[in-house]
Amino acid sequence: MMMLMVRALMVLATASSFVMQPSSSGVIVRHAATLEPPPPSSRTKPPAPSSEAAELAACPLTQWGEPMGNIVEEQEKARREKPRPFTFELSPPKGLENSKDGQVEWLSKNADMVKEKMATSGAVIFRGWEVLKEPEGFRSAYEALGLSPCLDPLHAVSARPMVDKKSAVYEAVNGESRANFFIGMHNEFVGTRSPRAAMFVCFKQADVGGEFLVADGRAIFRDVETDLLKRLYEKRIRYSVMELPFFGFVDKIPVVKDAVAEVLRTVVSTAINAKVDFDVSMSWINSETLQARAPAQVPVLKHPVTGEATWFCNVHSHSALLRKRREATYGADQGTGVSQINKSDMLFGDDEPISQQDLDELDRVTNKHIKYLTMTPGDAVLLDNYSTMHGRNVFEGKRKHAVTWFE
């Protein structure tokens, strides 16, 4: 029993340290807001900010909008309407190409236009802005736009590195150990919380690859196969957000095996739920592994400003099958032990697996709409987190990108 307790404590320590750690543009394992609208929760109090980010507001709660009712009719309506242009490029005005102060002043005067373009197009791409080449100027730019930064959505469960601990500028996933990990397309959300917007900036371009990726969630909603969309919406989706390996030691205690397994499941579940603001359920998927699953949610929501239906589902980044398929092309993830814990997958809301045929369709429609953005110092992407998915291509050499999240 002593060895059992030691093993349990080791697993709990690992879970507390690594659950939903950053690995992609945010995390490999991350999500799951609740059903629409979210049910009342006793966990509505925002996480206490750390001392190094004490002035930042908590990441806001996800805005699901009104239930859609007949999802097929919603898709037919979207297909009839003229699509909005996706992305809007913005270069410094003539005469201000090299003036940081002039660029900040221009952004302040045109802040409403920039934010309107973000909401309606999905992403504003800044090209060649001198003020965006270093963290202090980047902060001046988003402050000039009147954007209010918030804590990293991962704040309650991990500590994403900061470029400047006194600011809201977080490191993107730049580690060379993750260079061959293709970050699938996703919206940024953890539990019940989602930033309204995000701004990704390039301080140093990778030697090869490393493009920032965006995809229009409205286009994915329009183009996904109708029967699959209907099944996903009606049955909901559910993320498995973590796996804890026990390496078969429960099987070595045959007399009290079932009792020990239940105790471990309960203790681990309690420890993890104390860390997050949504209810995680733990299930044994075999005699060696506990899997954490988040509550069921819908894969589509209505944009909080435009009211348009948009795909809000991270299957492309979270599906184990799609991730393994990319590993066959780019090689296995070379990250630390965190990646052994943060194994994600996606299921139907009733815990039934999603078939390979369905995943192939979701992969197809997502890949169809990915836009690869080569970014150099002075470039940034201000994106609407509700309508625009993001990701990152594999790369070689040193890469330094950063991100700030906004209310």
CB proximity list for 328: less than 8 A, separation 6 or greater: none
Domain count, the chain: 1
Q: Within a domain: residue 41?
A: no
Distance CA 247, CA 103 (A): 57
Taking the C-alpha atoms of residue 346 and residue 28, their distance in angstroms, rounded to an integer, is 12
Residue 236 lies in a domain: yes
**Residue 44 counted as domain residue:** no
Q: Is 198 helix (H, G, I), strand (E, B) or coil?
A: strand
Q: Under a CB-based contact definition with an 8 Å cutoff, are residues 280 and 272 in contact?
A: yes
Does residue 61 form part of some domain?
Answer: yes
Residue 383 near residue 180, CB atoms below 8 Å? no
Residue of 69, 144, 154 whose CA lies nearest to 108: 144
Q: Is residue 47 a part of any domain in this protein? A: no
291 with 283: CB under 8 angstroms? yes
Please report whether residue 46 resides in a domain: no
Identify the domain containing residue 326 by its residue range. 2-36+54-406
Give buried/exposed letters for 104-138 (b at 16+ CB in 10 A, else e): bebbeeebeebbebbbbbbbbbbeebbbbbbbebb
Q: What is the pLDDT, as a whole number, of residue 295? A: 86
Name the residue among 150, 149, 242 with its Cα closest to residue 193: 150
CB 58 within 8 A of CB 193: yes
User: What is the per-residue pLDDT for 335?
Assistant: 55
Predicted pLDDT at 54:
45
| Per-residue pLDDT at 290 | 75
Mind listing the pLDDT tens digit of every residue in the chain (407 residues)? 323 333 443 444 344 433 333 333 333 233 333 333 333 333 444 444 444 444 788 899 999 888 888 999 999 999 999 999 999 999 999 999 999 999 999 999 999 999 999 999 999 999 999 999 999 999 999 999 999 999 888 776 555 677 766 678 888 888 888 899 999 999 998 878 899 999 999 999 999 999 999 999 999 999 999 999 999 999 999 988 766 665 444 444 454 445 544 555 555 555 555 555 666 767 666 666 777 788 899 999 999 999 999 999 999 999 999 999 999 988 766 654 444 455 789 999 999 999 999 999 999 999 999 999 999 999 999 999 999 999 999 999 999 999 999 99
CATH of the domain at 145: 3.60.130.10
Tell whether 30 is covered by a domain: yes
Provide Rg for the chain, Cα atoms: 21
298 occurs within a structural domain: yes
Q: For residues 253 and 346, is the Cβ–Cβ distance under 8 A?
A: no
